[in-house]
């Protein structure tokens, strides 16, 4: 079963529909978005130059770091094509960055992915993403409601309460991070529950972190359920999702996705690895050619599920100097703000690893004097939303030009 017929379009039908959507976006952005007009001018382009999907790739990509700066310096209005009061919601993500939500139904485009993962009308779904200020909870609840599911807005944390909800209610679906579903399962077993008979989880939709195949299989074995992943960002919403055949992630019908050379922003031949560049078909906040910083490649081979879209072959790394840990992006510039609060820090470095498949973050501090490690951890957590392990080094134990962010994880 498919959510709608767009999922089985021929390549010619899909490209025609994508170009029509982008033409509409271009006209809307040229009229209302100061950011788009400025980007066009800087590239020496006019709207007439962007007269096809091929020509559209001449528009320089917009990077997340630029978006953060533009919002801070020019204001959110400068990137919108409507007044802020005409939006449905405005969220804020770490960065900080505002994430506007337009008024159209399923604005973030996740319903297609949930349906492909196996959610159906009548499912009771436990939502463990946050509902406070950040977009994930509501972003992912509304498409579930559109399918006909009931949702428990559990939010993150309170693991014993999460277990109790699953035990007392006929919860058939889970939405959150796979690593957290594993934590819930281990807690339930420690309380003497049989996860396959005392709980009813049938389908899990996971996002916000990488999904190693070993973790997927472990969680599926724990609960006797199906685990499928979605890929998107708080800026653009759904980009791709897995179907019942976990052989790559189908590109969403609500966006135009390119794989590009990170240095030039130009599309690469099919099958080559490059940066994921996305244009969602959302008119209030036209993020035309938004560069995600994630690296992937495209799979052309047909999928047994019958969907005809190209598929992303997983996420293979980052094209810039950021990394995602437990659903949060780490920006070295933010860590530098924390380090500046402690004059004893001569040099610092963030190291990310995943021993046993569990993400771990440590900060190496080269110190010229004593420091309150707890105070540093608290300051780091307040700004970056993650609590690091602190590793103290002598003042000359880390070079001044050492890489600020080292990602040692293997997947």
Residue 347 counted as domain residue: yes
pLDDT value at residue 411: 67
Tokens read off for 251: 């590109």
- The closest alpha carbon to 394, from 370, 362, 378, belongs to 370
| 305 within 8 A of 245, measured Cβ to Cβ | yes
Confidence at residue 334, expressed as pLDDT on a 0 to 100 scale: 83
Alpha-carbon distance values, 125 to 109, 121, 130, 163 (Å): 18, 11, 15, 13
- Give the total number of structural domains in the chain: 1
Tens digits of per-residue pLDDT, 118-176?
A: 999 999 999 999 998 999 999 999 999 999 999 999 999 999 999 999 999 999 999 99
pLDDT tens-digit series, residues 323-380? 888 888 887 878 888 999 999 999 999 999 998 888 999 999 999 999 999 999 999 9
Residue 319 domain-assigned? no
Q: How many CB atoms lie within 10 A of CB 310?
A: 21
Place of tokens 């189908």: 250
Helix (H, G, I), strand (E, B) or coil at 164: helix
Domain extent for 384: 325-407
Structural domain contains residue 332: yes
- For residue 372, the model assigns a pLDDT of 94
Q: Please classify residue 336 by burial: count the beta carbons closer than 10 Å to its beta carbon, then call 0-12 exposed, 13-18 middle and 19+ buried.
A: exposed
Per DSSP, the chain holds a count of helices (H) and strands (E) of: 11, 22
80 assigned to some structural domain: no
| Tokens at 158, concatenated | 């309170």
Name the stretches of the chain with pLDDT < 70: 411
Long-range contacts at 353-358 (CB < 8 A, ≥ 24 apart): 353/408, 353/409, 354/409, 354/410, 354/411, 357/212, 357/214, 357/215, 358/179
Q: Is residue 386 part of a domain?
A: yes
Is the residue at 22 inside a domain? no
Q: How far apart are CA 341 and CA 337, in angstroms?
A: 7
| Cα distance from N-terminal residue to C-terminal residue, the chain | 32
Q: How far is CA 399 from CA 222, 281, 333, 351, 396, in A?
A: 45, 46, 18, 15, 7
Rounded-to-10 torsion of CA 13, 11, 61, 41: -40
d(C-alpha 227, C-alpha 215), whole Å: 10
Question: What is the per-residue pLDDT for 1?
Answer: 82
Partnered with residue 277 across adjacent β-strands are 258, 291
Q: Count the Cβ atoms, other than its own, within 10 Å of residue 383.
A: 16
Residue 402 lies in a domain: yes
CATH number at residue 355: 3.30.300.30
Neighbours of 43 (CB within 10 A): 12
Residues 163 and 182: their CA atoms lie apart, in Å, by 11
* Within-domain flag for 393: yes
Hey, is 318 helix, strand or coil? strand
């Amino acid at each position: 079963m498919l959510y709608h017929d767009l999922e089985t379009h021929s390549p010619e039908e899909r490209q025609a529909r994508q170009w029509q959507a982008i033409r509409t976006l271009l006209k809307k952005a040229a009229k209302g978005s100061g950011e788009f007009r400025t980007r066009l001018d800087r590239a020496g382009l006019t709207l007439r130059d962007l007269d096809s999907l091929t020509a559209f790739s001449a528009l320089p990509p917009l990077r997340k770091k630029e978006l953060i700066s533009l919002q801070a310096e020019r204001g959110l209005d400068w990137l919108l094509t409507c007044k802020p009061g005409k939006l449905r919601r405005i969220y804020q993500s770490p960065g900080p960055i505002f994430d506007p939500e337009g008024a159209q139904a399923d604005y973030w485009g996740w319903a297609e992915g949930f349906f492909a993962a196996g959610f159906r009308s009548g499912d009771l779904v436990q939502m463990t993403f946050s509902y406070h200020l950040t977009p994930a909870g509501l972003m992912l609840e509304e498409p579930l409601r559109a399918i006909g599911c009931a949702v428990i807005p559990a939010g993150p944390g309170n693991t014993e309460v999460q277990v109790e909800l699953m035990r007392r209610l006929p919860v058939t679906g889970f939405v959150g991070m796979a690593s957290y579903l594993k934590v819930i399962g281990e807690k339930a077993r420690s309380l003497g529950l049989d996860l396959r008979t005392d709980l009813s989880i049938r389908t899990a939709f996971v996002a916000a972190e990488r999904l190693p195949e070993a973790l997927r299989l472990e969680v599926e074995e724990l609960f006797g359920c199906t685990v499928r992943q979605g890929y998107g960002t708080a800026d653009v919403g759904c980009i791709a999702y897995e179907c019942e055949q976990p052989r790559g992630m189908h590109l969403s019908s609500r966006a135009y996705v390119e794989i590009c050379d990170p240095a030039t922003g130009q599309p690469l031949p099919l099958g080559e690895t490059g940066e994921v560049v996305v244009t969602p078909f959302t008119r209030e906040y036209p993020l035309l050619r938004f560069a995600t910083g994630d690296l992937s490649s495209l799979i052309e081979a047909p999928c047994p599920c019958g969907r005809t879209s190209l598929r992303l072959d997983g996420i293979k790394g980052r094209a810039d100097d950021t990394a995602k840990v437990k659903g949060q992006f780490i920006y070295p510039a933010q860590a530098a703000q924390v380090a500046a609060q402690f004059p004893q820090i001569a040099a610092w470095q963030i190291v990310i690893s995943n021993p046993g498949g569990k993400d771990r973050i440590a900060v190496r501090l080269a110190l010229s004097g004593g420091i309150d490690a707890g105070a540093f951890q608290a300051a780091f957590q307040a700004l970056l939303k993650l609590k690091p392990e602190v590793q103290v080094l002598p003042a000359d134990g880390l070079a001044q030009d050492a890489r600020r962010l080292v990602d040692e994880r293997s997947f």
